[in-house]
Chain A
Amino acid sequence: MNRLTIIGIVIVVILVIIAIFAPLIATHDVGATNLSLRYLPPSAEYWFGTDSTGRDIFSRVVFGARISLKVGLVVVSVSAVVGTMLGALAGYYGGWIDRVISGYVFNVFLAFPGLLLAIAMVAFLGAGLNKLIFALCIIGWVGYARLIRGQVLKVREYDFVQAARALGASDARILFIHILPNAIQPLIVQASLGMAGAVLSEASLSFLGLGVPPPAPSWGVMIEEARDLSTLQAAPHALIFPGIAIALTVLAFNFLGDGLREYLDPRQRAR
């Protein structure tokens, strides 16, 4: 494993710890506003300073990790499970299921920008964390399904699958016990990169006012609140800290995904 992968793992572990123990780590109440304390620079009391309504930015960044990781985890697990199921069915059975999924869904849903579809859905549904998660799952599963379908098509032809079939194993047994365990390795890579994508999408939609509604400490919301000119003038740190948090999180999952890909596919290592 290379250095960047290790950096990625370390950051991800730290993030998870921060998200789980957020109430213990946060130094102040995330919602407590105090206009006499607004725009304070970073100090021993307020590590990352305060924002335009006097809230402690450090505590908000800490709680923001919870929202980001929650969205990422739910979106990636739901998309991966749904995508794996449908991709496996399409790859294993072929026929009309495959024609609908790979002929129609893949061609159509990968043909226009996913983020736009998510924006459109949330625009009509109304903003909110659950609706955002729902929209991201709707666009998310297709990538996993395509990956798994390709894998299943390959593994299906292996000798041990033929052997299992000859021994009279049922379709379900062949698919779940023999094919899938041998097909899901690249899914781990995709899931790691998918975490980066989901965190980024959540922040983007929240930034546009389509995600978690404002008092909640989502990193996207914090950046949206920090970018008006008077706040930018008085407290650039209100923008910089949540920005660094997003960048580090996305970077870590990208490092992890790239590292895992190299680790799982030795041919890539030589490059």
Chain B
Amino acid sequence: MRSVFKYKVFGALRRFAIFLLVVWTVVSLVTLLIELVPGDPAVSVLGEQATPEQFAQFREKHGLDRPPFFFSFPRNPEGARHLQWHGADNRYTEYWLALFHGDMGRSFRTDRPVSELILERYPATIELAVAALFIAVLIAIPLGVIAGKNRGTWIDNLASVVALIGISLPGFVIGPMLVYVFAVKLGWLAPSGRFDWTDLILPSVTLGAALSAILTRMVRSSVIEELGEDYVRTARAKGLSETQVVYKHVLKNGLIPVVTILGLQLGILLAGAIITEKIFGWPGLGLLLVEDGIGKRDYRVVQGCVLVISITYIVANMLTDTIYRWLDPRIRVS
């Protein structure tokens, strides 16, 4: 008993340490990536025509005149590189300090705090992701169960082929096709925007399609595996109907691995949301990243969006992991 407790504490600490390591890496990457910008970020934001005073003011305001990291290897007048120590007054520490104050710097373009811009857009992305998840589960469970129950028949083959096609059709193909059918041809739904609840339908179907395909395959193989277990024979022997066996017993056990996949797929969902939001003009983090950030070269906004999307994904994964452990006691000890 004592060793189990020790294992649990150690395991939890280890997972937390990895979490901190991942967050540290993401923040560092995001801060230092700005160094990859070819040329001067100030020039690419203000344009070539700006006056030297404007450049200097811009650089000072956004800390771009400060060294990027604790040390650098600048060239001396003879052209040889040498190590130069800058101390704690650099952009890297500054970004960390700002983060601890709940701040992510100011947008290069709009001069508003990036955290404010992100908070405005965050709910829309979560709404889209949750709706997509819901649609994916709604499609995948019945389809997967039917395929698994009728394994090897034409129904199963059809479901598998449909699922594979779903995996292979990216959102930016499905999305515009849905727009063509439901907005252009039938005129039932708006092609873009977020004004009415019906505006959520097309984006969430687009985003959920690939996930539902992956989930269908998971549910199918899970159901097939569980159907071979002893408890299924017992349930059948005590006279339960096949539907009861499948939905009351098999599905309960079979959904455990599906939960993990759901969590892992959240990353694909969040990354896919960037594309889906662009297709439908859905005002979430993805649109903020692509249009306001990348499109207008507002690197502060890009940093903030990448950071928040990554952290959301990492936290979602940790939660999945916890739920998984709670659902399946076998993993807790082994």
Interface set of A (CB-CB < 8 Å, partner B)? 104, 107-108, 111-117, 119-121, 123-126, 196, 200, 203-204, 207-210, 220, 223-224, 226-227, 229, 232-233, 236, 239-240, 243, 246-248, 250-251, 254-255, 271
| A111→B172 contact, CB < 8 A | no
| B21→A108 contact, CB < 8 A | yes
In order of increasing CB-CB distance, the 7 nearest A-B pairs are A243-B173, A113-B267, A227-B176, A251-B168, A250-B168, A115-B271, A124-B36
| B18 close to chain A: CB less than 8 A | yes
| A208→B164 contact, CB < 8 A | no
Interface set of B (CB-CB < 8 Å, partner A)? 18, 21-22, 25-26, 29-30, 33-34, 36-38, 164-165, 167-170, 172-173, 175-177, 179-180, 183-184, 191, 221, 224, 267-268, 270-271, 274-275, 278-279, 289-290, 293-295, 299, 302, 306, 309-310, 313-314, 317
| B313→A107 contact, CB < 8 A | no
B322 to chain A, nearest CB (A): 15
A207 to chain B, nearest CB (A): 5
Cβ contacts A to B, 8 pairs, < 8 Å: A111-B317, A124-B37, A204-B170, A209-B295, A227-B279, A229-B183, A239-B180, A255-B164
* Residue in B closest to A220 when the chains form the complex, CB atoms: B172
| B38→A232 contact, CB < 8 A | no
- Chain A CB within 10 Å — which of B172, B290, B302 has the most? B172
Which residue of the partner chain, among A126, A203, A232, contacts B170 with CB atoms under 8 Å? A203
Secondary structure dominating the interface of A: helix
| A254→B314 contact, CB < 8 A | no
A121, B267: Cα distance in complex, Å: 17
A208 proximity list for chain B (CB < 8 A): 274-275, 278, 290, 294
A227, B180: Cα distance in complex, Å: 9
Which residue of the partner chain, among A224, A243, A254, contacts B164 with CB atoms under 8 Å? A254
| A124→B302 contact, CB < 8 A | yes
A113 to chain B, nearest CB (A): 4
Secondary structure dominating the interface of B: helix
* Residue in A closest to B293 when the chains form the complex, CB atoms: A123
B180 proximity list for chain A (CB < 8 A): 232, 236, 239
A126, B168: Cα distance in complex, Å: 28
A232, B180: Cα distance in complex, Å: 6
| B176→A226 contact, CB < 8 A | yes
| B317→A223 contact, CB < 8 A | no
| B30→A126 contact, CB < 8 A | no
A224 proximity list for chain B (CB < 8 A): 172
- Chain A CB within 10 Å — which of B170, B175, B278 has the most? B170
| A207→B33 contact, CB < 8 A | no
A46 to chain B, nearest CB (A): 20
A209, B170: Cα distance in complex, Å: 16
A239 proximity list for chain B (CB < 8 A): 173, 176-177, 180
* Residue in B closest to A115 when the chains form the complex, CB atoms: B271
B82 to chain A, nearest CB (A): 26
* Residue in A closest to B175 when the chains form the complex, CB atoms: A227
A100 to chain B, nearest CB (A): 12
| A232→B309 contact, CB < 8 A | no
B313 proximity list for chain A (CB < 8 A): 111-113, 116
| A247→B169 contact, CB < 8 A | yes
A173 to chain B, nearest CB (A): 36
| B274→A116 contact, CB < 8 A | yes
A232 proximity list for chain B (CB < 8 A): 176, 179-180, 184
B311 to chain A, nearest CB (A): 9
B176 proximity list for chain A (CB < 8 A): 223, 226-227, 232, 239, 243
- Please name 5 further chain A to chain B contacts, defined as beta carbons within 8 Å, in addition to the given A108-B18, A233-B184, sorted by A numbering: A108-B21, A116-B310, A123-B293, A204-B275, A208-B278
| B317→A200 contact, CB < 8 A | no
B299 proximity list for chain A (CB < 8 A): 124
Q: A112-B314, A116-B309 are in contact. Are A123 and B294 (CB under 8 A)?
A: yes
B169 proximity list for chain A (CB < 8 A): 243, 246-247
B33 proximity list for chain A (CB < 8 A): 120-121, 124
B18 proximity list for chain A (CB < 8 A): 107-108, 111
- Chain B CB within 10 Å — which of A112, A248, A254, A255 has the most? A112
A169 to chain B, nearest CB (A): 37
